[in-house]
């Protein structure tokens, strides 16, 4: 993203605190039209999405 010519701002590892509460975001991508909050995970297996939008993790042998 550092070499992208798109008009975006990409922030990572953001921590927000309010009173006794806190939240951590892996990535926040800001454009002139919207804001995306992205969470990333390292997981094994494949993710299958069925016709109802349900996510299932599958481990292949």
Q: Can you say whether residue 19 is alpha, beta or left, with left for phi > 0 and alpha for psi between -120 and 50 degrees? A: left
For the chain, give every domain's residue range.
9-58
56 contacts 48 by C-beta, under 8 angstroms: yes
**For residue 1, is pLDDT > 60?**
no
State the pTM of this model: 0.59
Q: Can you say whether residue 53 is alpha, beta or left, with left for phi > 0 and alpha for psi between -120 and 50 degrees? A: left
**For residue 5, is pLDDT > 80?**
no
pLDDT tens digits, one per residue of 25-55: 999 999 999 999 999 888 788 889 999 999 9
Residues with Cβ within 8 Å of residue 26, at least 6 apart in sequence: 12, 13, 38, 39, 40
């Amino acid at each position: 993203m550092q070499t992208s010519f798109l008009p975006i701002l990409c922030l990572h590892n953001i921590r927000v605190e309010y009173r006794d509460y806190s939240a951590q975001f892996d990535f926040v991508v800001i454009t002139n039209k919207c804001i995306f909050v992205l969470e990333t995970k390292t997981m094994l297996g494949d993710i299958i999405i069925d016709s109802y939008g349900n996510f299932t993790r599958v481990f292949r042998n």
